[in-house]
């Protein structure tokens, strides 16, 4: 597989795709997971400011389930999942390329994440993100709004879990049983 700066051959995608250039539902990604994560997170420098954090995510994701939305030959956004058996599934990282923001990629990724969580027998979908910290940071307001508007509940703030300058907001989304 050839990896270019921002484009990926479809060989890394688990399911067969049509050549429709329109955005598709998220599919599982099984190859080049770290490279895709590194590439997209690096592009989102207003949110992901620390290279060490990006690298740690990229390495962790190699062994985690990952889903992505494909646009043409590019992964437009991805979500990676961390299991907390028996009942919780965490969104370790979710990110949409800036050019695709607000075009429904994030929602498709959440749908895939929820489906995966349910299929794994989980009753709770969780995610940790930066809590409000008294600064003018509209990009993080937008991230929190994304979770607020997609069924997540602000469960708790952990002031020092990550770092005292980076308070952690723990969101949870109860997953209703599907009979
Ligand atoms: C958070 C993120 C993944 C959302 O992805 P997205 O593809 O832009 O989201 P969608 O277009 O699917 O949005 C779905 C819905 O979420 C809500 N939403 C999304 N972005 C929002 C924003 N900036 N402000 C308010 N609501 C927002 C809206 O209800 C939206 O539906 P609508 O556009 O019909 O109103 C994306 O903004 C991103 O990559 N942010 C940077 C990285 C990041 O913060 N990751 C999370 C780290 S914990």
Kindly report, residue by residue over 91-147, the tens digit of the pLDDT.
999 999 999 999 999 999 999 999 999 999 999 999 999 999 999 999 999 999 999
- Verify whether ligand 1 is closer than 6 Å to residue 157 (CB atom): no
Contact (Cβ atoms closer than 8 angstroms) between residue 175 and residue 139: no
- 7 within some domain: no
Q: How far apart are alpha carbons 67 and 101 in whole angstroms?
A: 17
Q: Which atom of ligand 1 is nearest to the CA of 109?
A: 12
- What residues contact residue 104 under an 8 Å CB cut-off, 6+ apart? 23
- 138 within some domain: yes
Number of independent structural domains in the chain: 1
Probe residue for ligand 1, chosen from 92, 96, 146, 154 as the CB with the greatest number of ligand atoms within 8 Å = 146
Q: SS3 for 38?
A: helix
Q: Which atom of ligand 1 is nearest to the CA of 96?
A: 39
- 14 within some domain: no
- Verify whether ligand 1 is closer than 6 Å to residue 42 (CB atom): no
Average pLDDT over the chain, rounded to an integer: 89
- pTM of structure: 0.91
Q: How far apart are alpha carbons 150 and 108 in whole angstroms?
A: 11
Q: Residue 100 is part of a domain; what is its CATH number?
A: 3.40.630.30
For 159, list phi and psi in degrees, rounded to 5. Answer: -65, -30
Question: Domain residues for 76?
Answer: 22-174
For 72, list phi and psi in degrees, rounded to 5. Answer: 65, -125
Residue 24 is predicted with a pLDDT of: 87
């Amino acid at each position: 597989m050839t990896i270019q700066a921002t484009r990926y051959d479809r060989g890394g995608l688990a399911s067969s795709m049509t050549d429709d250039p329109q955005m598709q539902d998220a599919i599982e990604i099984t190859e080049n997971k770290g490279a895709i994560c590194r590439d997209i997170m690096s592009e989102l420098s207003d949110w992901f400011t620390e290279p060490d954090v990006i690298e740690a995510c990229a390495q962790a994701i190699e062994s985690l389930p990952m889903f992505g939305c494909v646009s043409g030959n590019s992964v437009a956004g991805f979500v990676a999942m961390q299991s907390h058996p028996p009942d919780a599934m965490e969104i370790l990282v979710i990110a949409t390329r800036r050019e695709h923001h607000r075009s429904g990629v994030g929602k498709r990724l959440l749908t895939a994440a929820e489906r995966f969580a349910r299929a794994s027998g989980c009753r709770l979908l969780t995610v940790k993100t930066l809590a409000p910290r008294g600064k003018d940071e509209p990009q993080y307001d937008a991230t929190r709004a994304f979770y607020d508007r997609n069924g997540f509940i602000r469960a708790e703030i952990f002031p020092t879990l990550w770092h005292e300058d980076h308070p952690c907001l723990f969101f949870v989304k109860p997953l209703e049983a599907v009979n």
